[in-house]
């Protein structure tokens, strides 16, 4: 899960810890993350080729986990960014401290499912638009809003178990942040395009329970990207 930037926006710090987890942390291994993925999505290997540590085992401050192209080391490095396209499979980078000690089991499922969503979305495994606006922040906001929206909807359906209140709030805040960023971008670039994208991105209140949820999910609709500023 990228907390701030999806790709191309981070600065490579070059941490080189040798497998030190946060003191008292659960010390996540790639095998454990892969087992969690398999337990939720037996088809995950279609979209995620390998789960492994990147260039450090301790996570960077702004990142819990993230996708990279095959062999990539750092999800924040544009040169390592995931490949997008039908049938693409990317690698998932995790860290020993991806799951902080206080996190619930539900949060671990949510984080892993978030990455699964990205990987499958990038591989065009959902009937959801993929985009390339030529503006990294707009792309980031779009993909992150879609992924956070997906996990919020699944969390609301009880797919992960019971999240802590602060975890629910964190997920809602991430969705709202990226929804707002992407909404602002579309409204500035081509307001009519929101008729297209808005179908996939409910207003934050609708996903977090402060306003009624839509009667039917729109997340699996066929898309008609004609109104999109750019798609790929």
Minimum distance from residue 146 beta carbon to Zn ion (Å): 9
Question: What's the start-to-end Cα distance of the chain, in Å?
Answer: 22
Q: How far apart are CA 59 and CA 65, in angstroms?
A: 8
| Total residue count of the chain as it appears in this document | 232
Closer residue to Zn ion, CB minimum distance, 36 or 147: 147
Using alpha carbons only, give the angle 151, 155, 158 rounded to the nearest 5 degrees.
145
Minimum distance from residue 162 beta carbon to Zn ion (Å): 22
Minimum distance from residue 192 beta carbon to Zn ion (Å): 27
Residues 198/223, Cβ–Cβ less than 8 Å: no
Closer residue to Zn ion, CB minimum distance, 24 or 145: 145
Closer residue to Zn ion, CB minimum distance, 58 or 146: 146
Minimum distance from residue 111 beta carbon to Zn ion (Å): 9
Tokens 């009880």 belong to which residue?
158
Minimum distance from residue 10 beta carbon to Zn ion (Å): 13
Radius of gyration of the chain (CA): 17
Q: Which element (helix H / strand E) includes 76?
A: none
Could you tell me which residues are beta bridge partners of residue 51? 92
Minimum distance from residue 142 beta carbon to Zn ion (Å): 11
Minimum distance from residue 114 beta carbon to Zn ion (Å): 5
Contact footprint for Zn ion (CB under 5 A): 1-2, 144, 147
Closer residue to Zn ion, CB minimum distance, 136 or 190: 136
Nearest alpha-carbon partner for 88 in 67, 104, 105, 58: 67
Q: How far apart are CA 19 and CA 95, in angstroms?
A: 9
Relative to beta strand 65-68, strand 48-53 is unpaired
Closer residue to Zn ion, CB minimum distance, 1 or 28: 1
Close Cβ partners of 8 (under 8 Å, ≥ 6 residues apart):
78, 81, 136, 140
Quick one: tokens of 156?
Answer: 């609301």
Closer residue to Zn ion, CB minimum distance, 67 or 228: 67
């Amino acid at each position: 899960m990228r907390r701030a930037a999806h790709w191309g926006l981070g600065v490579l710090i070059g941490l080189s810890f040798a497998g030190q987890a946060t003191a008292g942390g659960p010390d996540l291994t790639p095998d454990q993350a892969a087992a969690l993925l398999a337990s939720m999505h037996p088809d995950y290997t279609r979209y995620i080729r390998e789960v492994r540590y990147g260039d450090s085992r301790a996570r960077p401050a702004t990142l819990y986990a993230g996708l990279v192209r095959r062999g990539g080391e750092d999800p924040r490095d544009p040169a390592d960014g995931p490949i997008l396209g039908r049938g693409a499979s990317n690698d998932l980078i995790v860290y020993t401290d991806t799951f902080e000690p206080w996190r619930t089991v539900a949060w671990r499922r949510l984080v892993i499912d978030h990455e699964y969503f990205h990987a499958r979305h990038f591989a065009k495994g959902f009937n959801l638009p993929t985009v390339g606006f030529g503006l990294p922040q707009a792309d980031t906001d779009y993909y992150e809003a879609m992924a956070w929206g997906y996990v919020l909807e699944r969390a609301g359906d009880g797919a992960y178990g019971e999240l802590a209140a602060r975890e629910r709030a964190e997920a809602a805040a991430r969705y709202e942040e990226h929804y707002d960023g992407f909404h602002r971008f579309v409204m500035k670039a081509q307001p009519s395009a929101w008729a297209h994208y808005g179908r996939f991105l409910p207003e934050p209140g609708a996903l977090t329970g402060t306003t009624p949820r839509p009667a039917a999910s729109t997340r699996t609709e066929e898309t008609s990207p004609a109104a999109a500023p750019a798609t790929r």
